[in-house]
Amino acid sequence: MASRGASDDSAPEPEPRDGRHCPACAGDIGVWAIFRAGLPNMIRCPHCGERVRYEGAGGLLVVLFVLLAAVAYIAYKLSASVFSRSPLLRILAFAAFLFAAWVPIELAAAHRLRRRCRLRIG
Ligand SMILES: [Zn+2]
């Protein structure tokens, strides 16, 4: 009676299915890859270059768009009131206000995606 069953030692590791590790190479994609992508469906793994996306991130995407619109409106009003006489300074202030307000939002979204959602290749 010859046994042909595969041993557990030779079985491949199951692919990681969390929000931190690339499904292709199992490396931690980190926060910067999510931040740099801007959207949770345009992420590239910094280790293997595979394009990955978060499953079930549609609700968060809608929230991000609403927040972006609100932050842009507030940044516009703020820059227009502070630099009402100089269009160049107003544009620079708008960009600075928008960036300063958006960085913590994007970082919070990246941390939430890593904790709550799962990555898949795509
Ligand atoms: Zn990878």
* Cα 21 to middle of ligand 1, angstroms: 8
Terminus-to-terminus CA distance in the chain, angstroms? Answer: 45
Neighbours of ion ligand 1 (CB under 5 A): 22, 24-25, 45, 47-48, 50
Interhelix angle 30-37/87-116, rounded to 10 degrees, is 130
Distance between CA atoms of residues 120 and 72, nearest Å: 31
Q: pLDDT tens for residues 28-79?
A: 999 999 999 988 888 999 999 999 999 988 899 999 999 999 999 999 999 9
Å from CA of 44 to ligand 1 middle: 8
pTM of the predicted structure, to 2 decimals: 0.76
The strand pairing partners of 53, in sequence order, are 120
The rounded Å distance from CA 113 to ligand 1 centre is 17
Distance 22 CA to ligand 1 centre (A): 5
Write down the residue that tokens 């030779």 correspond to: 10
The ranges assigned to domains in the chain are 16-121
Please name which of 119, 3, 101, 4 lies closest in space to residue 54, comparing C-alpha atoms: 119
- Residue pointed to by tokens 């227009």: 80
Residue 16: Cβ within 10 Å count? 16
